[in-house]
Structure 1
Amino acid sequence: MANDMASVINDEIQRRNGELSSINMHIHANPELAYEEHKAHDAFVSTLRSLGFEVTPHAYGLATAFSADFGSGGRLVVYNAEYDALPGIGHACGHNLIASASFAAFLGAAAALKTSGQPGRVRLLGTPAEEGGGGKLKLIAEGAYKGAAACLMVHPGPGHNLPPGIHGVAFVHMLANVKMRVHFTGREAHAAIAPWDGVNALDAVCLSYNAVSMLRQQIRPYERIHGVFRAAGDRPNVTPADCTVEYYCRSATKRGAEALWERVRKCFEGAAVATGCAMRVEPLNSYADVRPSRGLCEAYVDAMPAGTVALDKPADILAGSTDMGDVCYECPGFHGVFGIDTKEGEANHTKGFAAASGTQDAFERALECGRGMAAAGWRVLSDDAFAERVRREWEEDMKRAAEGKLAC
């Protein structure tokens, strides 16, 4: 039965190569920023409807989200389609490939369900604004993943960081990221006539910057702190009264990132006291750590061509943070990585990676991942014992997460 369904999945993805390629090229050629992905949204809605799927545009209260569903009863498997780009450098994180892989997985899993005639549901969820906008956080709040037995997606990364013959990695842990904007308020004064009348918010910014830089000596090797000045005054002869910085604090777990932020907060508080400024903290859309389901990862590896996907992560294949981490706290999750080739070995968030994500070779690799995700999703839908194992392991992992421990 498993081999039969693998053939059904492969045949369907091959049969829909035209639609998949069209979506992939359209998204890559029309990069859109977070919450502005109207062309990508409309292209997906139109294509899915032409294929006979039930589609909800502007889903869950988000103008550029959509939801396409197939099947009834049974368990629910969700595939995330990301499609937002980066300012100035387009699809330098390859979200067109993420969308294509998830689209292929959805088509394959839907075909398996249709052929089998058994209960079960698959959903292709258009998830806007991963690049700093926290789109999945809003989808979570609106119940997009409620009751899901699994959620799957893959992400492209730099192929040169993979061992020879290995095209991807299944079990990929990514850092939690607490994001904060800090506003310092002082008092304006003429910097030449009466500087003693001023309370300099830029001084507070600079003091806090140096304090954070010193703190970096005392943090764990996997932790990261980085920030920028958002507002630092307008003219040299006016004492800056309103200055703003934005900082990210990353650690291996959500609990660890929150603890790191509390240490960073003291740097800002101390700078405010030293300069006499008021301080206000504005929380941004923080991301939890990615906690992969071991069972889903193993099923994905089993479904991929033998020896091409490693179960565990080599160093440096994909770092950073993503709102898929928060989905892993809602249901069992899979966030595998596949490598694409860049001309000069560039990694994500570069122009070279954007160019590579538009190649035919990268598209073919995304489709291969889609086949693997469809097979893993089908196993969740059709194998009661496997689905129970995935659910039980996730519940145990949520206990570990509450204690600040890594996924295992």
Structure 2
Amino acid sequence: MRSKSPVPSCFSFLRSSSSRVQSPDPSSVPSSSPVARRAVDEKVTEDDALPAYFADSMNLDSDDGLNDRALETIQSAIDFYSADLREISLFISDHPELSYHEFLAHDHITSFLSKQGFDVTKSYVIPTAFKASFTLNFKSGSLGKNGRHVGFCSEYDALPGIGNACGHNLIAIGGIAALLATRAAMKAYRISGTVTLFGTPAEEGGGGKIELIKAGAFKDLDACLMVHPTAGGKKGEKGTAIITGTLAVQQFKVQYFGKTAHAALAPWEGINALDAAVQAYSSIAMLRQQLNPSVRVHGIILQGGLVPNVIPDHTLMKWCARTQSAKELDTLMAKLIDCFKAAALSTGCSYEIKMDGPAYSELRCNLPLSQAFAKVLSKMYDIPVKIDIDRFEGASTDFGNITYEVPACHPDYTIPSRLGDQNHTIGFTEAARTKQAHEDTLRMSAGLAGVGIRVLEDEAFAKEAKTWFNNNTKT
């Protein structure tokens, strides 16, 4: 619009006696086994993938809904694939790709998942998105007979100039590891249901998950989970995790249009678009005094003129507005638009405001899922998880929109980094490449898989998560 007015153990079993070559599966190979980890391209059929031996009791129930054997199987699977996951992480880090251009990452990940026997849909809705699924369906005598569906998300887009400075190479393998581990437990314990990994591009700008939401990608899920690294860990120590909210955000661009003139000979003949941009910037700076301390507004001038002796006839600004709710974001945007309008009126410029992608909703993590994640990490690794879902961090994510579609959880976890090397710095890019960051990520993946298995296996728990969602989040 151009106008002058407003405008996300191994409980081993014997391998199938089938004579055809197949990839060794972690649910049938102890973590200490010398069996080679080399995968073959041939897919394993569902019948071949089933375990030949089961425990006397197939019931995974325990006092807290977790079973030590299932968690051991999850750990075994993650250990089994660790070297492959490390290679994928470093490949993504070595080949940073911006939002909606993650073609190398897309092809590298989907090639690996196809070799592991998953049902892979490449270029799912978006050219650089994908979907990888595994389903088991036992007609009788099985757990999870309701056929529930749990999803994980991977991200793999980079930032301009600083690469994977938000650790998306780790987020990518975090989702892959959770997928592999959940499948291993499903096969080992005959748990019916579906597990799906969604490859979600353009989190750093463009809202890839929102495009997938519009296409109905997540509508059949009983839960969706992912993890995200942050700074603050210490070298040689296990990290910690926290589950909080994040802010809703809208990114947008503003242009002013004026008229050129010689800045010395006849400046009065011009209409200064730079004056309008500066005035709008100053108005918003003063507006902050009346804004709630949780609100964030930040902007830059991308284009301010070409030479100083010509009155600029065009300026371009880019802004981010962040609040604790989508409703509050609407109110803030109205105030900001008034600032831009006022600057146009006082300088004689016309202006244009264009939303730079869809709005990201605030992150609202599901409490039962969050508590289950904390229990898994405590049981497996004695890692503390702070749950404070009503506290909002300053960052934003398009996974927030998923939390308003299905029960969902987005834990953050620490990796070691130097003082000052926070997310979105070149130092964090290097921190996300370290071996310890890799190990910290895989522990979080085990937590995701533990929750995923519980959603599939424990009907009462799945209903609890759904009820909380309906009462606290569902739009």
Normalising by structure 2, we get a TM-score of: 0.80
| Residue identity opposite 2:213 in structure 1 | I
* CA–CA separation in structure 1 for the residues paired with 2:246 and 2:163: 23
Q: Which residue of 2 aligns with 1:143?
A: 216
Change (3 A) 1:315 1:70: closer
Q: Which residue of 2 aligns with 1:64?
A: 128
| Residue identity opposite 2:306 in structure 1 | D
Q: Which residue of 2 aligns with 1:385?
A: 460
| Residue identity opposite 2:327 in structure 1 | R
Structure with the greater alpha carbon radius of gyration = 2
* 4+ residue runs over 6 A deviation: 314-317
- Pick from 255, 258, 265: which aligns with 1:183? 255
| Residue identity opposite 2:408 in structure 1 | G
Change (3 A) 1:124 1:271: same
Please give the secondary structure, in 1, of the residue aligned with 2:410.
strand
Deviation at 1:72, TM superposition (A): 5.0
* Map 1:329-408 → 2, pairs under 5 A: 329-398=404-473
* CA–CA separation in structure 2 for the residues paired with 1:11 and 1:166: 19
Tell whether 2:155 aligns with 1:90.
no
Q: Which moved more, 1:313-322 or 1:171-180?
A: 313-322
Deviation at 1:257, TM superposition (A): 1.8
Q: Which residue of 2 aligns with 1:406?
A: none
Deviation at 1:319, TM superposition (A): 3.2
* CA–CA separation in structure 1 for the residues paired with 2:240 and 2:351: 45
* 8 Å contact kept, 2:247–2:393: no
Deviation at 1:376, TM superposition (A): 0.4
Q: Which residue of 1 aligns with 2:43?
A: none
* CA–CA separation in structure 1 for the residues paired with 2:426 and 2:80: 32
Deviation at 1:238, TM superposition (A): 2.1
Deviation at 1:310, TM superposition (A): 2.1
* CA–CA separation in structure 2 for the residues paired with 1:203 and 1:214: 16
Superposed CA offset, 1:145-204 (max 9, x none): 12111110111001259xx98733342210111222111112222223332221111111
* CA–CA separation in structure 2 for the residues paired with 1:345 and 1:329: 33
| Residue identity opposite 1:158 in structure 2 | A
* 8 Å contact kept, 1:70–1:121: yes
Q: Which residue of 2 aligns with 1:168?
A: 240
| Residue identity opposite 2:247 in structure 1 | L
Q: Which residue of 1 aligns with 2:90?
A: 25
Deviation at 1:317, TM superposition (A): 10
Tell whether 2:232 aligns with 1:159.
yes
Superposed CA offset, 1:131-157 (max 9, x none): 112111111122221211111011100
Q: Which residue of 2 aligns with 1:405?
A: none
Deviation at 1:314, TM superposition (A): 11
Tell whether 2:112 aligns with 1:41.
no
* 8 Å contact kept, 1:160–1:345: no
* CA–CA separation in structure 2 for the residues paired with 1:353 and 1:118: 39
* CA–CA separation in structure 2 for the residues paired with 1:384 and 1:313: 26
Tell whether 2:178 aligns with 1:105.
yes
Please give the secondary structure, in 2, of the residue aligned with 1:304.
helix
Change (3 A) 1:345 1:197: closer
Deviation at 1:349, TM superposition (A): 0.9
* CA–CA separation in structure 2 for the residues paired with 1:58 and 1:191: 52
Deviation at 1:11, TM superposition (A): 1.4
Change (3 A) 1:330 1:298: same
Aligned residues: 398
| Residue identity opposite 2:203 in structure 1 | E
| Residue identity opposite 1:356 in structure 2 | A
* 8 Å contact kept, 2:246–2:363: yes
Superposed CA offset, 1:74-122 (max 9, x none): 1211111101111111111111111111111111111122223232111
Normalising by structure 1, we get a TM-score of: 0.92
- Pick from 376, 379, 385: which aligns with 1:310? 385
| Residue identity opposite 1:387 in structure 2 | A
* CA–CA separation in structure 2 for the residues paired with 1:313 and 1:383: 25
Q: Which moved more, 1:368-377 or 1:337-346?
A: 337-346
* CA–CA separation in structure 1 for the residues paired with 2:133 and 2:267: 64
Q: Which residue of 1 aligns with 2:360?
A: 287
Change (3 A) 1:46 1:95: same
Please give the secondary structure, in 1, of the residue aligned with 2:113.
helix
Q: Which residue of 2 aligns with 1:10?
A: 75
Deviation at 1:210, TM superposition (A): 0.5
Q: Which residue of 1 aligns with 2:399?
A: 324
Structure 2 gaps, min length 5:
1-59, 61-66, 138-146
* 8 Å contact kept, 2:245–2:392: no
* Map 1:113-132 → 2, pairs under 5 A: 113-132=186-205
Q: Which moved more, 1:123-132 or 1:2-11?
A: 2-11
Q: Which residue of 1 aligns with 2:311?
A: 239
Deviation at 1:128, TM superposition (A): 0.9
